[in-house]
Amino acid sequence: MKTGIDAISFDVAKLHLPIKTLAEVRNIEPEKLEKGLGLIQMTLPDAHQDSVVFAANALTKLIQNNQINLKEIARIYVGTESGIDNAKPIGSFLVDLMEQKFGENTLGECDVVDFTFACIGGVDAMQNCLDFIRLNPDKKAIVVTTDIAKYDLNSTGEYTQGAGATAMLITSNPRIITFENNWATNTKGVFDFFKPHRTLSKEAITGNTNNESWFDNLEAEIEIHKDQPVFDGQYSNQCYMDRTRNAYFSFKKLKEASNTLYQTWNSIIMHLPYSFQGRRMLSEIYALDAENTIISGEENAAEYQTKLKETSKTPEYKNFVEEKLMPAELASSLIGNLYTGSIFMGFFSTLAYFYDSEKEIAGNTFGFLAYGSGSKSKVFEGIIQDEWKVALANVTLFETLAKSFEIDFETYEKLHKKEQKQSIQSPKNEWILDRIENQNPNLIGARYYKWID
């Protein structure tokens, strides 16, 4: 029996800032970001949007476009690192909103949970649902990824920001892609990128040394939430390479492959925090697993890095990138980082590229190299199914991205600082964040959403 992805949908922030605009204000050579990293624009949430909104919109599209009977859905599992509550998962919000729109108690027997492991949480959610469907082939599950990648102003991560969600229907005998039950994992506990609890002394805020109550806070320390991460870009890149390399060769052993594994993949889908990240990270695996090994891994550090750079500049590697990686990069260039959704958006981008090119890819094998900071990599593969074009007919990815609304730098900064209270674009046919309760003591902080026709 085959299991995999039967249908897909997405929702991406409809506002964008051109990378060239950001580069000029930050005194960065635009070509460095555009041609060096593959960045064209970054998407940003409007005032009425958060991670629940993106998830609910992507899920609603999935249900409507595929006439899904919600009573057949046994699981809605969410991958995210943009949770809005330390106890209540995004999945529980989704059940409520879908029942508001599609009928009371239609998801009353549906299991929901959020998976958090930086950018790989969505892959973890999908693997869990695939296992469930293998054991229960008459059931159906949905995987949602939703995130807002936000970085501090003037930071080295600022130009990789993005926002949006994906939703995928997981079934037996799927139309788009099937996955073998072969997964290789490599994990190591590190601090390359994380979002810690942060504190300030109450005295520093109030100037009062007596620890008097401040907005009902009795503790001497005030905990603050910040969407922006603590990160070390170069170290995170090294962790990405180390975990992915180790998982790749573990997968090769699992498959008992004697030849170069990546050459058996027609397309390669990687986590892309920025568009060209994959091609930069994959050069090491490309060199180590070449039929005539380019590097041995026994060189000294300087020689090793030199050989990797030389490898990435060869015509052979550039052709390899163009053939196997480029289609997944196209959407990333126009969206930015989607954290948990990044690898799936790369998959959608590849499918849309071949769909628009009218190229038949049924039977092709896709290799997936997932990564999440903290850190973990998973490597797996799937085979494109005969009905992939039918399932993709309503997923107008690049047409949707072309309609994105360009904002200026002043508006961008106001949105980033949350000074912009009014929506830039009037919402239509979508979910919005309606209000956050601030009066009822039993509901302080509760978030309420509504559908706008």
Whether pLDDT at 7 is above 80:
yes
Quick one: pLDDT at residue 411?
A: 98
Number of H helices, E strands in the chain: 15, 19
**Quick one: 117 and 223 in the same domain?**
no
Query: What percent of the chain shows pLDDT beyond 90?
Result: 93
Lowest mean pLDDT among 19-23, 312-316, 362-366: 312-316
Indicate whether 141 and 226 sit together in one domain: no
Mean pLDDT of the chain: 96
Average pLDDT of span 353-368:
97
The reply to whether 102 and 196 lie within a common domain is no
Cα–Cα dist 241/321, whole Å: 17
The domain tally of the chain equals 2
Query: Measured between alpha carbons, how far is 19 from 258 in angstroms, rounded to an integer?
Result: 43
**245 close to 285: Cβ distance less than 8 angstroms:** yes
The H or E element spanning position 282 is helix 277-288
CA distance 117 to 378: 12
pLDDT more than 70, % of the chain: 100
- Spatial separation of the C-alpha atoms in residues 346 and 126, rounded to whole Å: 15
- Over residues 348-372, the mean pLDDT reads 98
Q: What share of the chain is helix, strand, coil (3-state, %, to 5)?
A: 40, 25, 40
- pLDDT surpasses 90 at 302: no
Q: Is the Cα dihedral 175, 181, 183, 189 positive or negative?
A: positive
Give the range of the structural domain holding residue 206, as residue numbers without chain letter: 192-212+219-231
Closest among 10, 7, 54 to 169, alpha carbons compared: 7
Q: Is the domain of 115 the same as that of 204? A: no
**Claim to verify: residue 226 and residue 240 sit in the same structural domain:** no
| 168 and 248 fall within a common domain | yes
Task: Tell me which residue has tokens 């999908």.
Answer: 126
196 and 154 within one domain: no
DSSP secondary structure, 157-192, as one string: TGGG-EEEEEEEEEEES-SSEEE-S--EEEE----S
Confidence of residue 298 (pLDDT cuts 50, 70, 90): confident
Mean pLDDT of 187-196: 97
Residues 94, 226 within the same domain: no
pLDDT digit string (tens) for 197-215?
Answer: 999 999 999 999 999 999 8
Q: What is the pLDDT of residues 362-395, one digit of tens each?
A: 999 999 999 999 999 999 999 999 999 999 998 9
SS3 (DSSP) at 214: strand
Tokens, residue 58: 């992507």
| 184 and 137, same domain (yes or no) | yes
pLDDT for the residue numbered 295: 77
Decide: residue 169, CB within 10 A, 0-12 exposed, 13-18 middle, 19+ buried.
Answer: buried
290 and 207 part of one domain: no
143 closest CA partner among 121, 162, 163, 164: 121
SS (H, E, C) 312-337: HCCHHHHHHHHHHCHHHHHHHHHHCC
pLDDT at 267 over 90: yes
In terms of domains, do 53 and 134 share one? yes
Within this chain, do residues 145 and 204 fall inside the same structural domain, yes or no? no
Rounded to an integer, the average pLDDT of 349-361 is 97
- Confidence tier at 307 by pLDDT (50, 70, 90): confident
What is the rounded CA–CA span in Å between residue 33 and residue 252?
Answer: 34
- Look up the CATH number of the domain holding residue 436: 3.40.47.10
pLDDT computed for residue 304 by the predictor: 86
